[in-house]
Amino acid sequence: MAYLPREVNAAMRPAGLLWGRLLASNPAWPLHFSALLGDLRPRFLDKGRVGRSHRAIARNGRVLLVSELPLEALANNVVRIRLQVWHRALLSGDAPEPYGWLLCVRSPLSRTDCQSVLRQTQAPAQEGQPLYHARLTRSPDADADLVLEVGGRDLLEFMVKTATSK
């Protein structure tokens, strides 16, 4: 079985589903970052629990969200996200091929961790990654760092919030 390489060739990315500055500034795959999630339920369909994780699929069928918690428990929480290419084999015995995006969402951070991340975003010069705010939108902000198409003309936008941004 082939494993996901550390760097993903642009040709392997599912076309047209993902774009933004974060891709150009971070060539290593998978992408890891913290985000304050909005409510994703309008564009993700809950597929139930599989093993120890909950799964949801975007309405376009090309983004799979996997989490320890159901979608409703993730809304308005700071979480850790890993974004990587989702490989899928259509028939048994076929080699998996890039199909979409796998959005792995780790549990909400503890209150102490959350406060630490929020302090880092207020002082970007400190070490650590910025906190992205994730929201569903029909028209992405020009300052969006990462945009992921989730179907029905809706987009999942990740953007660092600053004092001057919306």
The residue ranges of every structural domain in the chain are 10-160
Q: How far is CA 101 from CA 19, 98, 119, 126, in A?
A: 12, 8, 30, 30
Phi, psi for residue 109 in degrees, rounded to 5:
-70, 155
Q: What is the tens place of the pLDDT at every residue in 65-92?
A: 999 999 999 999 999 999 998 988 888 9
Mean pLDDT calculated for residue range 144-166: 83
Q: What is the pLDDT of residues 38-67, one digit of tens each?
A: 999 999 999 999 888 999 999 999 999 999
Show the CA angle centred on residue 109, arms to residues 62 and 131, nearest 5°.
70
**pLDDT digits 0-9 by tens, 115-142:** 454 454 443 333 467 899 999 999 988 8
